[in-house]
A and B are shown apart, each in its own frame.
Chain A
Amino acid sequence: MPLGQILLAIFLALQSLHIGLSMELTIVIWFGALLSALGSLKLVRVERPTWGLSFVLLATGAFLGSQILEDWAIEGSWAQNNGLGAGLILSLLAYQLWLFASDDKPNTHQALNRNTQTILVLGLILMLLISPPEQTIIEILGIPIALLTVVAILLATLTLMADRCSGTLVSRLLLLLPLFLVAPLLGLLLGLGQGPLIAALGDMFPSGNSFTPTGFSPRQQLRASAFLQPSNRAVLRATSESQPNQYLAGNRLVMLDDELVWQPIERPLSALNLSDAEIEADGRLRYPMENNQFPVDSGEAERIDIQILNNSNFVFMSPNTTHLIGRFEALTRNAADVWSPVYDRGADRRWEIETDGASIADTFEEINLQLPTFWDSELQDKSKALAGPSNQQTVYNVLNHFIARAYSLETSFDPEQPFHDFFINERAAYCFWFATGATLALRANDIPARIVGGYVIHERLSDEMWLVRERDAHSWVEWQDSDGFWHTIDPTPPSIASFFGGYESNQLSVLYHLLAGQWQKFIDAVLEDAIIANLVRYGGVLILLFLFIREYRRIRGRREQLDSRIKRWQKIWQRFLSSAQLPTNTSWTAATYAQNLPAQWPAERRAAVRAFLDCYKLQRFSAHEDLALAEVEQSLAKCIKAMPR
């Protein structure tokens, strides 16, 4: 066996070890090593993977990874968290093993072997970019080395050289020795230069400071100078049979500090777990939520299904949510007063909000009346001017005051006293400023109020489906009445509509999200029944398997057909030569034989042989090989008849 093949098998086994250790799947190590050894022996003839077969292999890997590996992998391993990625990597490994097994004996007359290069390239990508397992990192002379990765690079180099440096391999290997001196020195240099180089690279990119992207942020700061850039990136999709409440609250903030940052109420971190939840018929958990909103009798309880479309791990709820339903083991309320779910293994990032009229009064908190330190008589006078005979009237006055003002995405206030500039000079600003102004104005009139951050639902995809994008991030206000119930008001002026007009959704994006929503609905309907879900799951695997076997059989069939035809041609030629008793001369063609027929042969025999040779010459490379073979065989039969017995 060529040395290059042995080294390539070791490279593949090493790669299996790396991937297996990284995924914490021992079976990958053993299978990889076993298949590498078997592949190098070339016991069975394996067809080379085609594009179609490679695609089916990758698709199968991805499908099995997402459906099976997530349940199969060890708890906490990355293969469990990213089953799809792990499946793809395993299918790439399988592809390399297959390529190795299908490779014929390498031809050393060529500088490089295509299959070997493909295996090495894929292998090196996987081994260099997948973080090495901790147990393979060793220290030599105080230098930490990822042993498997370094050995893989060396093995790749050796594999390329092995069969093409016969007689000089040892001297060539000696040339590698100085590398072990060069590499640590270079490592030292790279370590020193890494920081400055990355800083210089960072300076080359344009800075994005001129714009502030919109979106929900747990802690918000009032910035004197800002230019908001609305983003059309989708955040979540809401599905409800009736028109849902247009507000989706993320958190509630109560205290504006000296840095103009709104802070949540100070309370210990809380969490809801299984013991707090009820189990629904479909296995989901139903967590109770505290609803302190002013009770509105809306009849039956309403449910809104929300599916998150970005990477955030926050829960957004309608202000009057009484229950939160989903597949999460626990719900935690973090320091920014935002609920974060701990999803079940493999569960979709979605939840359902249940709202109804049932609510309880909240206690009065002093903090909801607290004014910031910069609050002075000028601001107090301006706020007092909005006071009415009753709390309700004061709220109306405050609301009317702000609603009448101008809206702008760009603010450029006095950097020393930005809030004064906004509030006293009645400058244009965006929702967060209006919500802050209204909250503080209400508090100045002894009405408890707080600011709420979240999203507004307004983009309708279909009768029952809405889409929320980053540009829909919003702030509004809640005030507390004398009974302790909270009321939602939105002091942002209606001219915000013109803002939405300037950042309309792309029609293609709307269509995509509509189709994605409908597809999700269909999948939900299918997966509702466990039997149908399993049927679909295993049916998918079977279809992929069927496609794989079918394509493989087709390729093998074609090869066998080609082989059988070649054999048939060879058989015809041998039969002709033996029956005509002509010598075998591999450099002669049919035409050469025809020109050099023995002169002593009778004319009849010469004519018959020549007829066969002409027929053979004409038909040997015909496009219709089956017909050609039949014709040549007939011609041979005639020729043999004319031969002396």
Chain B
Amino acid sequence: MSELADRPVRVPSEAILMHWWRLIRWFSNLRLVPRWYEHRARFLLRIFRRLYYDGLTRTGKIILICSLLIFLLSYRASSGFLIFTSSFGIGLLLWSSVLGFICRPKIIVTRDTPNTGIAGQQLTSSIRVTNEGRFSLHNFTLREMVVPYGRWPGEWFRPHQQNLPAGQSTTLSVHFEPLRRGVLNLSGIAVQSYYPFFLTRFTARALAPAEVYVLPPTLPVSIPSLRNIAEQASKRLSLGNESTRKGPSLDYAYSRPYQTGDSMRRLDHRASSRYGEPMSKVFEGVEQIRRDKVYLMVDLSLAGFKAWQRRPTDEAPLDERLALAVEIGLSAQNEGFSLAALAMGTNWHNLDGLQQFHKLIATCKPQRGYSEDIKTLPDSVLLEQGIHVLVLGRWTAEAEALLDRLQHAGILILVFLIAESAEDIGTLPEGNQFVEVQTHLLSNTNLAIADRFKTMFKQTSKQRTS
């Protein structure tokens, strides 16, 4: 189903008929009934939510429904005990509501919510509740107020506080789970009191806004060490001119265990005999200083995002790419690099800290990438020092040109690719600085089918030529 936000954009270079055809298709698929969270809470709906949905626990609801049914259906039976049963059920709920209203929560809430979350993972806010009422607050729980794209734990998993005397405070944890990348505006906290009989609930709403930058779902991959890849890639780059390298000499810094690819010249024999395992010498010099910082370049374009579309049909490949960028950023931090700048599309953004990095990742918008002519990557780098990491969804001519340009300028660039579609798998050139990460959007079954088709077509073309 399409929505209003999906209405096609007029592309001037195309025939108007094409636009009309898309308009008709969009209109024929248009969702006319709003989603449940898109309903404006009208008066009756609000009353229903307050009194029935929020106001009664499941047991309370059943007592109410059954009592009403007994009341309505017992008219012909004219049995006194049925009327009494009905009145007992309804009376219990009414009495419970009256007591619940008298001892309703009167609270002040302050929250401590992390400003970054991950889609699909629980985020915990620490909520300080102060009882401002005259009575003690009994049997209450907390939950976030309902906002789109957030999921709260079921009633069974909310922490229950038995008692909070008047004027006192307590701190409780409230969990919620953001559902997709973006900015989640939390509006406040609902305090629900089950006093006195756990049949009715009285909900007090306290405004406590908070903004959470939601990162894409975590990618279940382990990122190889950036330092290792960078070292191996730089060896490959400087293979031909190592003996004639110019610049300041290198000073010995320390020795570390031998890693595959280390030069035999750097083997520290003394340390190796002392530690009982091969050790390599690490030198401090221009190379190490140059690689102190990491610059991330993320291609935000999606091949399926056409000129006439207002938004892509599927943002999952971009989310996966951004999740990879987050992993690389964190991995770089763990390895002692500092994340200096981030290029989202063609623009560079200087990074002051991890929070800004997360904000940029959470708020970035997808770009159109249906044509090779559209520029999706920056033209140049901010600084020539440091490691530049390019995160791609597909290996394009623009990326290849950028890589060539930077390599000729002697800038170290590592390329990570997470395939956007089945055709993009295996397109990355071979080399130490190229890393292809397996995508989880394309299942193995789909890939197997695609492979089978590929081989089938290859065979038929071979047969034709023979």
Q: Which residues of A contact B (CB under 8 A)?
A: 108-114, 117, 120-121, 124-125, 128-129, 132, 137, 143-146, 149-150, 153, 156-157, 160-161, 164-166, 168, 172, 175-176, 178-179, 182-184, 186-187, 189-191, 194-195, 198, 201, 602-604, 607, 618
Contact = CB atoms under 8 A, between A and B. Distances in A.
A111 B62 contact: no
Contact of B71 (A113, A161, A190, A602): A190
B87 A121 contact: no
A144 B81 contact: yes
Which label, helix, strand, loop or mixed, suits the secondary structure of the A interface?
Answer: helix
Contact of A117 (B57, B71, B159, B274): B57
B160 A128 contact: no
Given A178-B95, A186-B87, A198-B75, A157 B197 contact: yes
A160 B199 contact: yes
A110 B159 CA distance: 5
A190 B74 CA distance: 11
B197 A182 contact: no
Nearest to B136: A168
Contacts of A156: 59, 63
A120 B59 CA distance: 7
B12 interface: no
A184 B84 contact: yes
A604 B63 CA distance: 71
A396 to B, nearest CB: 53
Contact of A187 (B84, B138, B140, B154): B84
Given A109-B159, A144-B80, A124 B62 contact: yes
Nearest to A114: B156
Contacts of B94: 182, 186
Interface string B187-230: 00000101011110000000000000000000000100000000
A317 B275 CA distance: 105
Nearest to A172: B196
A618 B84 CA distance: 66
Nearest to B82: A146
Given A175-B196, A182-B95, A164 B59 contact: no
B156 A187 contact: no
A143 B91 CA distance: 16
A187 B87 contact: yes
B53 interface: no
Interface residues of B, number: 54
B310 interface: no
B85 A117 contact: no
Which label, helix, strand, loop or mixed, suits the secondary structure of the B interface?
Answer: helix
B276 interface: yes
B301 interface: no
A129 B69 contact: yes
Given A111-B155, A165-B162, 18 more contacts: A111-B192, A111-B198, A124-B59, A124-B62, A124-B63, A125-B66, A128-B85, A128-B89, A146-B82, A153-B88, A156-B59, A160-B199, A172-B196, A172-B197, A186-B87, A186-B94, A190-B71, A602-B276
Contacts of A166: 162
Given A117-B57, A179-B91, A143 B86 contact: no
A165 B194 CA distance: 11
B332 to A, nearest CB: 18
B199 A190 contact: no
B158 A168 contact: no
Given A124-B59, A149-B85, A183-B91, A604 B157 contact: no
B139 interface: yes
Contacts of A164: 139, 160, 162, 194, 198
A24 B193 CA distance: 42
B59 A110 contact: no
A162 to B, nearest CB: 10
B91 A186 contact: yes
